[in-house]
Amino acid sequence: MDIFSEKEEIDRTNFGRPHCFLLGAGASLAAFPNGDKNGRVLPVMDNFIEVLQLEHYLNRAGYEPPYDNFENIYAELSSKPEHKEIVSELEEVIYQYFEGMELPDEPTLYDHLILSLREKDVIATFNWDPFLFQAAARNNHIKKSPKLFFLHGSVAIGICHNCSLKINVHALCPKCNERTQQSRILYPVTEKNYTDDPFIKNEWDAFRHYLSQGYIFTIFGYGAPVSDVEAVKLLSEAWGKPEDKSLEEIEIIDVLSKEELGNRWEEFIHTHHYRTPENFYVSMSSRHPRRTCEALWECLMMCKPSDEKVEIPKDASFADLYSFINPRIEAEKA
């Protein structure tokens, strides 16, 4: 059988359709298992109250340990006008906790992810943390990053309403020199509203637009919890019906079994057109950096699979990582 060689893959840059990535909480956890640069850890819903030390606020509102899941408590609190003050204090504490997070100095999985996709590609995230935005910013001198969308908002994002720009929350608007306004972050209520806030609505509209054109859709670390029924519905409408997706591919990066994941994402998958790598480094982006769509096309349509020897060097320094990726970036310029 003919093989799509590494050399051919590097030289092939003809695909215009995007590879779309969706990141859930599991992606940030996989990228930052030990927390941020200063050891500040990422909470999960089950330890959210303890990690962010919210006990004092909850006690004032009449909650005693053992606490229910934070999502349930927050939903209840925010529906009661008498707790308005405590709710806004809680929101401020949560915002500050995430805003204080910093990328570790060495390359992280998010740097690898950003470098493994092209500007035509898209990453949408449900995570509030600033890591994806910071990783894009620190690699932007190498090549413009894929497009990023923050479906629940992000503490990294500031908005200039004069110029409709989203930029680093700490920077002044490069066009009008005004201070930006913090992006809303969507707190964990059961029925999330994706249309009230203009910024969040724009992020959704843009991601849905790209997803409708996507050739590969990778879902990374997102379990589609029952509280996200509305989100999954919006994504499914944008991606389209499985029967119309005979050329496209779904990739789910998750440790669960292929069968289990196939059932969970059934409404997105055309027959057997899906794969379930157990971690990022054996996923398509790591095996075919910046060439995922080209490699998939060669494999499925031209019957020319790759030999699957490439893998993003997980432990390399920035210098070595850039040497690894550079031939691909040079080929894109040519």
Peptide bond into 66 cis (omega under 30): yes
**Residue 176 or 302 having the CB closest to Zn ion:** 176
Residue 82, phi then psi, degrees to nearest 5: -70, -15
Q: Which is nearer to Zn ion, 162 or 193 (CB)?
A: 162
CB of 177 to Zn ion, least distance (A): 7
Nearer to Zn ion by Cβ, of 168 and 236: the residue is: 168
Cα R_g (the chain), whole angstroms: 21
Q: Give, in order, the Cα–Cα distances in Å from 245 to each of 207, 209, 214.
A: 18, 16, 10
Beta bridge partners of 150: 125
| Residues at the contact surface with Zn ion, assessed by CB under 5 A | 160, 162-163, 173, 175-176
> 75 or 173: whose CB is closer to Zn ion?
173
Query: In the numeric block, which tokens belong to residue 194?
Result: 């994706």
Q: Sign of dihedral through CA atoms 122, 128, 133, 138?
A: negative
**Least distance to Zn ion, CB of residue 158, Å:** 10
Shortest distance, position 179 Cβ to Zn ion, whole Å? 9
- Report the nearest approach of Zn ion to the CB of residue 166 (Å): 11
Least distance (Å) between residue 150 CB and Zn ion:
19
Encode 172-229 in three state secondary structure.
ECCCCCCECEECCCCCCCCCCCCCCCHHHHHHHHHHHHHHHHCCEEEEECCCCCHHHH
| C-beta closer to Zn ion: residue 157 or 219 | 157
